[in-house]
Structure 1
């Protein structure tokens, strides 16, 4: 079997996206070949549901797909055919699924406000096709849009394809990872950051400029955010403040800095846009964990300095991809990444004075792929944040969750789905082991108004699921319920029970 290259994969999707755009402009019915939905799979037997057979949805929750009534009955009692011991069954989750499905109109509305926000027949949204419309789909050399993408979007994931069973999954996975290889933050191995034009690769009228001197018109510059009649609270208000048409696809990656803004101001309430003033600047220190794709677009985090006038923001990025980039940077001693240190930021930005002169510095912590509070050179942060964290998916999160509770460090994350966030929250007492002696809030979960627009295609489920889709507060800034020195003694008492 010939090996698919990333250039062929992204090139074919870009061509299809261009053809789709022309078909839409024709005013004629859109041919069925332009359906870019996800191949649907039975939730019980895990087999593809091939035409002419149509998937069956659970009549109660509308969230789960099956290939037959027989699989539906088995799924109700057993979950999936190869479910691990004690895995929840559909019977146990159905009511919960139905509650989460009530969020679907909200997530769809976030997408469909954009002209490129096309729902496929299965209810999913194809981000690659949307990017292909603007010719910004690819791995390397795509500016801020560069990412691993395709069938292997994360560092430690591989493809799930029909050919895997015939060729051997491990072989296929290795071939795909090689074909789609991309080093997150590769542009940081250069000597200069990308300009707005080189980074966004979009027509001028669609770019949210940070380098206002290069903008074609002074009208591109946003007003001081505190002068607005209403706060920047969702994509609609952000686009209006930024004087961008909804035609601009920038929300497809601006969700990362905007989600950080949402976590810091509305979820953790560390600060807000009105707190600073010309006579009183506000320093904010954040440590961002699990960073991956964010490394490809560091300059877009300048948005935080525009949204938080008279603030001096410091972000330290930590993660496997950060460590990997810093190791690679040793081969490029004159690169941006190689020059970075504890005292030398990787990226800096200061907003114009009339926009509030907020400043941003981003540092890379490349010494270790993981975070540890007792061995960290950047000191105690005002808050920890993480995008698409997957708190219940990776064991490295357990010591982080324990530490933020022990040291009272505000910690907020985004998660893809509300249901997964709830399941992770339910596991916190087990991770902590001291729930009775260290009571906390109810770990609030909310829809993120700055989620990346569009439903991710999940073959077996229709639950609302978006990149940076929901926010979860793990620790909110508040006083300890009791003096910290009593904590160890009460843990010891608990161990004697």
Structure 2
């Protein structure tokens, strides 16, 4: 956290973390009273908006998990350590420590959890109605509420929820047995790609093809195609999920549909013509997009506007979603879809944020 007035004049900030908060919104911090007074000219226009966003904090931090309090008090690293998952496999990307370690492909590591705590086999019953909460998902998958898998499953569950939102407004162009998804700006999820196999359980019998497109895709993995026919496996040696586990084989009876992911390095508007040479997308999903922060989104938004394809975006905090909606509205020439709290947001709070606003990965969802 930095002083909100840092850099707006020559007077340097006082040493140490800023401990003085705005008394009205509580969303911004300052190193001193003088810097708080100095910043008011800038802050007064956003302060009321921040107050409204801060009032939603209890709702946003309300999760059914028994580990939610641990996350609030321990921090991400300590929580993962208490679960025996710190710096293990696909879990290592959930704390800042992983930046100190070499990048390794952990695609064969699975959940690193016993079968009782993770969805490593087919669900016992098919979904009859769209799910609307983490509690419903855990009940359906027969998982105890102390299982930490939601920390990673927010990626595929957010895709699932995006699809359900689009279907509630109008049928997708290829609704039925084939679904093509363009997934923009992947970063951390590239190293957690195994968890996307859960889409096969959420959308049974559907052939799903996902294009991961973004500059964060490693050059060495550009053009890589992954075929999934099994769920991410558990740590139990005798579990049925271990039988013939082969993440790259297309021949398996475990999935009734197919799931394919292809990685593309670059910006979407530059690669669109190549990607859509054979098939157009049914839906575009852009998690934690940061639309207002990156000017490269403008040509992509213009492209999506002309495509006529539903697009769903998420962001970490409501302010980022609000600023993104202004950008989308300027491109569309009208008010975009309203901002909603994503019921499948990650339950792990984002650490070291610029504002004191409630902040979670995939927290707020909106579209065009």
Classify the TM-score, shorter chain. 0.7 to 0.9
Identify the match of residue 228 of structure 2 among 348, 357, 381: 348
2:47 to 82, 85, 94: 94
| Residue in structure 2 matched with residue 423 of structure 1 by the alignment | 323
| Structure 1 SS opposite 2:359 | coil
Match of 1:43 in 2: 4
Tell me the CA shift for residue 182 of structure 1.
2.0
- Give the conservation status (yes or no) of the 8 Å contact 1:283–1:311: yes
**1:115-165 C-alpha deviation (Å, 9 max, x unpaired):** 2543546xxx72222212122222xxx3322438516x7xxxxxxxxxxxx
Of 114, 133, 136, the residue aligned with 2:85 is 136
Deviations 1:179-230 (A, max 9, x none): 44426xx24xxxxx52xxx3111122112113x5xxxxxxxx431111xxx6
Tell me what 1:250 maps to: 149
Give the structure 2 partner of residue 238 of structure 1: 137
Q: Does 1:207 align with 2:145?
A: no
User: How many pairs are equivalent?
Assistant: 339
Q: Deviations over 1:441-484 (max 9, x none)?
A: 533211111111133234652211111111120x2xxxxxxxxx
Q: Is the 8 A contact 1:286 1:315 kept in 2?
A: yes
Are 1:312 and 2:207 matched, yes or no?
Answer: yes
SS of equivalent residue, structure 2 residue 285: strand
Q: Do the aligned partners of 2:156 and 2:195 also contact (CA within 8 Å) in 1?
A: yes
Shift of 1:64: 1.9
Provide the rounded CA distance (Å) in 2 between the counterparts of 1:467 and 1:373: 26
Query: Among residues 78, 86, 96, which one is paired with 1:150 in the alignment?
Result: 96
Describe the shift of the 1:271–1:233 C-alpha distance in structure 2 as closer, same or farther (beyond 3 A). farther
Match of 1:283 in 2: 178
Q: 1:388 to 1:460 in 2, by over 3 A?
A: closer
With normalisation by structure 2, the TM-score equals 0.81
* 1:17-56 per-position Cα deviation (integer Å, ceiling 9, x unaligned): xxxxxxxxxxxxxxxxxxxxxxx54322455545xxx823
Instruction: Give the aligned partner of residue 216 of structure 1.
Output: none
The superposition leaves residues 355-395 of structure 1 with CA deviations (integer Å, 9 ceiling, x where unpaired) of: 993432222235x4544333324531011111111112222
The equivalent residue for 1:453 is 347
Give a deviation string over 1:263-291, Cα, whole Å, max 9, x none.
Answer: 1112564889xx98xxxx42111111111
Judged with a 3 Å threshold, the aligned counterparts in structure 2 of structure 1 residues 70 and 422 are, in CA distance, closer, same or farther, namely same
**Other-structure match for 1:58:** 22
Tell me the distance in 1 between the aligned counterparts of 2:82 and 2:170: 38
Which of 51, 68, 73 does residue 32 from structure 2 map onto? 68
Aligned residue runs from structure 1 range 334-483, under 5 A: 340=224, 345-349=225-229, 357-366=256-265, 368=266, 370-371=268-269, 372-376=271-275, 377=277, 379-430=279-330, 432=331, 435=333, 439=334, 441-458=335-352, 461-473=355-367, 475=368
SS in 2 for 1:379: coil
Cα separation, 1, equivalents of 2:27 and 2:48: 10
Between the aligned partners of 1:250 and 1:240, the Cα distance in structure 2 is 13
Given that 1:149 and 1:180 are in contact with CA atoms closer than 8 Å, whether structure 2 keeps it comes out as: no
Q: Following superposition, which runs of at least 4 residues in structure 1 exceed 3 angstroms of deviation?
A: 45-50, 267-272, 350-356, 368-372
Where do 5+ consecutive residues of structure 1 fail to align? 1-39, 78-88, 154-176, 188-192, 213-220, 328-336, 476-497
After superposition, the Cα gap between the structure-2 partners of 1:49 and 1:119, relative to the gap in structure 1 and judged at 3 Å, is farther
Partner of 1:23: none
**1:68 Cα deviation after fit:** 3.0
Is the CA contact 1:288–1:386 (under 8 Å) kept in the aligned structure 2? yes
- Indicate how the Cα distance of structure 1 residues 404 and 75 shifts in structure 2: closer, same or farther if over 3 A, else same: same
Pick closer, same or farther for the CA change 1:286–1:269 going to 2, 3 Å.
farther
- Report the Cα distance in structure 2 between the residues aligned to 1:92 and 1:459, rounded to whole angstroms: 21
* Residues 294, 271 of structure 1: alpha-carbon distance in 2 compared, 3 angstrom cutoff: farther
Equivalent residues of 1:117, 1:453 under 8 A apart: no
Determine if contact 1:317/1:365 at 8 Å carries over to the other structure. Answer: yes
Q: Aligned-pair distance for 1:306? A: 1.1
Distance 1:253 1:74, change over 3 A: same
| Paired position in structure 2 for 1:33 | none
Partner of 1:480: none
Partner SS for 1:467: coil
RMSD (CA atoms): 3.2
| Equivalent in the alignment of 2:62 | 109
1:315-373, Cα deviation, whole Å (9 max, x unpaired) = 1111223242325xxxxxxxxx8xx4xxxx4122379999993432222235x454433
Residues 364 and 120 (structure 1 numbering): CA distance in 2 closer, same or farther, change over 3 Å?
closer
Between the aligned partners of 1:143 and 1:75, the Cα distance in structure 2 is: 44
